[in-house]
Amino acid sequence: MGDYLNRNYVSAFQRVATFQVNGGLKLGGNVASYFCTPDGLVLHCIAGPTDPRTFLREASWANDTYQHALLDNQKTESELRAYFRKVHLERLHDEHRVNVPADRLPKEGAIAPDALGQVLNQNRHLGLGNDGKVHLLLAVAPLPRMDQVYRVVFENILNEQVTNRPVVGR
């Protein structure tokens, strides 16, 4: 898995939630993994910890889908957004049995980052797990910049409070 990730991605991290270190153990906090284009547009996300097999499957899906879009001549940002909206809607339908007609979604880029959390809250009745919520989020706002979605992922999917407070050690 490490070789695949090193060939296809650049790793980065940012601590945005509070946790404590107690006796060498990390208590609290959470993790989100983002798969982005070279210019920082979020193709896909894993919200929460996952096993290596699932992580590799999702990383491969993001990379393969992006490469397929480029081969399919989806080169402008608008074309890529439409393409990724379609594939996230397909996964939402195929894996979670949720059908959201594309014509009922706002135009790409038309929804403010603050409204994204409201979209997730308004669709709680769907009973989606974290992966389904990610597909819904990225169908509503395909290829957002990280700064537009990280807070929504942490606060509305992972139920963590975003903070800039330091790590607390005991």
Confidence of residue 124 (pLDDT cuts 50, 70, 90): confident
Confidence of residue 95 (pLDDT cuts 50, 70, 90): very high
Q: Which of 99, 157, 98 is nearest to 131 (CA)?
A: 157
| Cα–Cα distance, 36 to 45 (Å, whole number) | 9
Q: How confident is the model at residue 20, as a pLDDT?
A: 64
Q: Are 64 and 100 in contact (CB under 8 A)?
A: no
pLDDT in tens, 37-92: 888 899 999 999 899 999 999 999 999 999 999 998 888 888 999 999 999 999 99
Confidence of residue 2 (pLDDT cuts 50, 70, 90): confident
**What letters, b where the CB count within 10 A reaches 16 and e where it falls short, cover 39-50?**
eebbbbbbbbeb
Please tell me the pTM assigned to this model: 0.84
Residues near 69 by beta carbon (within 8 Å), at least 6 away in sequence:
79, 80, 83, 84
Cα Rg, the chain, nearest whole Å: 16
Domain ranges of the chain: 2-169
Phi, psi angle pair for 34, to nearest 5°: -115, 140
pLDDT in tens, 131-166: 999 999 999 999 999 888 988 998 899 988 776 665
The tokens of 157 are what? 């999917």
